[in-house]
Structure 1
Amino acid sequence: MSRHDRITYTTGSRRGRTGTGEPGMTELFRNEVSSAPLPPKVIETWERRVGVHRSNIHAEPIRLTGPDGMRHYGQHVEVRTDDPGSFDSLMYVRQLSMIGTFCSLHTPLEVSRNPRLISEQPSEDLVIGVHTLEGKHIIRQGSRDFAYGPGQLAFVSNASPYLERTFEINDPAGLVIPLELLGNQRRVAEQARRPVASHTLLARATASFILQFASDTAVGVTEPGPDTEMAAIELVRAALGQLDYDNRQITDNALFVREAVSDLIERHHRDPSFTPNAIARYLHISRRQLYRHFEDTEDSLAARIADRRLKTACEFLRTRPDMAVSEVARISGFPSSPTMRNRFRAELGIGPSEYRARAAAEADPVENWESPTA
Structure 2
Amino acid sequence: MLHESVFRTTDLPVDARFEAWAERMSGTHAPMRLTSDRTADYRGHQRVIGLGDVTVWPATFDQLVFHRTPKLVRQSDPETYHLSLLLKGEGAADWGRQQAAYRINDFHINSSSQSWEVHTGSDPVTVVGIEVPRALVAVPGNRADQVLGSLISGREGIGALLAQFLLQLVADTSAHQPADAPRLGTVVADLVTALFAHAVDAGPQVPQETRGRTLTLQVKTFIRRHLGDPDLTPAGIAAAHHISRSYLYRLFQAEGLAVASYIRDQRLEHARRDLADPRLRALPIHAVAARRGFPRAAEFTRAFRTAYGLPPSEVREQSLTEGQGVRGA
TM-score (norm 2): 0.52
Q: Any conservation in 2 of the 1:67–1:87 contact (CA below 8 Å)?
A: yes
Question: Alpha-carbon deviation of 1:212?
Answer: 2.6
Structure 1 equivalent of residue 56 of structure 2: 101
Question: Alpha-carbon deviation of 1:246?
Answer: 5.8
One of 203, 207, 223 as aligned partner of 2:159: 203
1:165 aligns with 2:128: no
Structure 1 equivalent of residue 309 of structure 2: none
One of 29, 38, 51 as aligned partner of 1:83: 38
Deviations 1:166-189 (A, max 9, x none): 112111113211001112256233
Structure 1 equivalent of residue 311 of structure 2: none
Please identify which structure carries the higher strand content.
2
Structure 2 equivalent of residue 151 of structure 1: 105
Structure 2 equivalent of residue 67 of structure 1: 18
SS at match of 1:154: strand
Q: Any conservation in 2 of the 1:160–1:190 contact (CA below 8 Å)?
A: no
Structure 2 equivalent of residue 120 of structure 1: 75
Q: How many residues align?
A: 189
Change (3 A) 1:189 1:212: farther
CA distance in 2, matches of 1:242, 1:234: 12
One of 239, 242, 246 as aligned partner of 2:198: 242
Q: Any conservation in 2 of the 1:129–1:153 contact (CA below 8 Å)?
A: yes
SS at match of 1:122: coil
1:213 aligns with 2:158: no
Equivalences for 1:290-369 in 2 at 5 Å? none
CA distance in 1, matches of 2:43, 2:68: 21
Q: Any conservation in 2 of the 1:139–1:164 contact (CA below 8 Å)?
A: yes
Please identify which structure carries the higher helix content.
2
CA distance in 1, matches of 2:91, 2:132: 22
CA distance in 2, matches of 1:93, 1:188: 29
Q: Which stretch of the first structure deviates more once superposed, 195-204 or 109-118?
A: 195-204
Question: Alpha-carbon deviation of 1:120?
Answer: 0.9
* Matched AA of 2:194: A
Change (3 A) 1:175 1:185: farther
Question: Alpha-carbon deviation of 1:111?
Answer: 0.8
1:233 aligns with 2:233: no
Question: Alpha-carbon deviation of 1:203?
Answer: 1.9
Structure 1: state its 5+ residue gaps: 1-55, 248-374
* Matched AA of 1:208: Q
Change (3 A) 1:66 1:229: closer
Q: Any conservation in 1 of the 2:4–2:50 contact (CA below 8 Å)?
A: no
SS at match of 2:20: helix
CA distance in 1, matches of 2:188, 2:69: 29
Q: Any conservation in 1 of the 2:154–2:162 contact (CA below 8 Å)?
A: no
* Matched AA of 2:52: S
CA distance in 2, matches of 1:197, 1:59: 27
Q: Any conservation in 2 of the 1:130–1:154 contact (CA below 8 Å)?
A: yes
CA distance in 1, matches of 2:130, 2:188: 9
Structure 1 equivalent of residue 90 of structure 2: 136
CA distance in 2, matches of 1:216, 1:190: 32
CA distance in 2, matches of 1:216, 1:140: 34
CA distance in 1, matches of 2:75, 2:161: 37
TM-score (norm 1): 0.46
Q: Which stretch of the first structure deviates more once superposed, 61-70 or 161-170?
A: 61-70
Q: Any conservation in 1 of the 2:93–2:116 contact (CA below 8 Å)?
A: yes
Change (3 A) 1:182 1:172: same
Question: Alpha-carbon deviation of 1:57?
Answer: 7.1
SS at match of 2:131: strand
Q: Any conservation in 1 of the 2:128–2:166 contact (CA below 8 Å)?
A: yes
Structure 2: state its 5+ residue gaps: 10-15, 204-329
